[in-house]
Structure 1
Amino acid sequence: MNKEEILNIIKTKISEKIQNFETLIAETRASSNDTKSSMGDKYETGREMLQQEINNLQRQLNETLNQQSIIQKITDEPSMKVQNGALVKTDKGLFYISVSLGEIVFDDQKIMTVSAESPLVKAMFGKKTGETFSINTIHQAIENVW
């Protein structure tokens, strides 16, 4: 498994998300400035709704920036046990311990990107190839750790 390429895919996805949020915030601010009306309360309500949308987008942008700072600290060095930056194959799937971005496809394989804070990772953290763990009564065996 080429962890360097997987890490680059994740970095690219995060950069694209950041760019999208920044664009959405700029567009929403622009539309907020364009909202001119002599309707009094309706104008203020519309501006407040746009401000809430900007705040929501800003919060999502901050979460994504936090993910970016976490991913910058992860290396593609081989792992002997389940830890941040490890690629883990269990009998149920392939997991990359980094940030929670959902599923990515690499070399025709589905890889779930999961945060070290997730219950799944907490259950398998520190384990090595051949060891087992359980989460929600589902038993999994670790087949390989990269």
Structure 2
Amino acid sequence: MTTKQKLLQICNERVDKRMNDYKEEINLIKESIASNDKGSSEDDDAGHGKLLNDLEKNMSYLNDAKKTKEYLSNIKTNVESKEAMLGSIVKTNMMSFYISTSIGKIELDDAVFYAISVNSPIGQLLINKPVNTSFEFNQNKYVITEII
């Protein structure tokens, strides 16, 4: 398995975990709402409203995670490019990035990669840039040394 394939797999696993966590939370909230409905009084209305609000938030998070999962399915691990694109590993003089989704730090095979979104501020600076391009981010000067 290539490094790109491993990174994509890790991203998918993390999104799957996120989705499962949201589904579990949604089920717990639904159970709480159902049990509150059985012995409802006026005092419970505020708590009921909070539960409904939490349910709505978690359903929105789940929907976002599903969109992220769908987005990850667009990444092709066998495509090579001279410029940074979705699915690229971009090595710089300071750190290595995996352009995919905002997952954050991934430690893999004694290396550290930062999974970032194309739409993130640093993703915007990297996308479509070739090797030897330099840019500044958070007062640090980066130079792209390799694109895989």
Same fold (TM over 0.5): yes
Q: C-alpha distance in 1, partners of 2:43/2:50?
A: 11
The whole-number CA distance in structure 2 between the counterparts of 1:142 and 1:18 is 34
Greater displacement, 132-141 / 113-122: 132-141
Supply the AA of the counterpart residue of 2:130: K
Q: CA RMSD in A?
A: 1.4
Q: Which runs of 5+ in 1 are unaligned?
A: none
Counterparts of 1:71 and 1:84, CA distance in 2: 9
The corresponding residue for 1:109 is 111
Superposed, 1:77-88 pairs within 5 Å as 77=78, 78-88=80-90
Gapped regions of structure 2 (runs ≥ 5): none
Q: Distance in 2 between matches of 1:32 and 1:46?
A: 9
Report how far residue 136 of structure 1 moved.
4.0
- Residue 8, structure 1, aligned to residue 47, structure 2: no
Instruction: Name the CA distance, whole Å, in 1 between partners of 2:126 and 2:100.
Output: 14
Does 1:48 pair with 2:49? yes
Separation (CA, whole Å) in 2 of partners of 1:86 and 1:117:
14
SS at match of 2:43: helix
TM-score (norm 1): 0.92
SS at match of 2:97: strand
CA distance in 2, matches of 1:128, 1:26: 47
Distance 2:16 2:29 in 1: 20
**TM alignment of 1:1-146, pairs within 5 A:** 2-35=3-36, 36-37=38-39, 40-77=41-78, 78-146=80-148
Comparing 93-102 with 73-82, which one deviates more in the overlay? 73-82
SS in 1 for 2:46: helix
Q: Percent identity of the aligned residues?
A: 23
State the AA in 2 paired with 1:63: D
Supply the distance in 1 between the matched residues of 2:31 and 2:110 (Cα, whole angstroms): 41
How many aligned residue pairs are there? 145
Once superposed, which parts of structure 1, at least 4 consecutive aligned residues long, lie more than 3 Å away?
none
d(CA) in 2 for partners of 1:15, 1:79: 28
Give the whole-Å Cα distance in 2 for the aligned partners of 1:136 and 1:30.
45
How far did 1:15 drift?
1.1
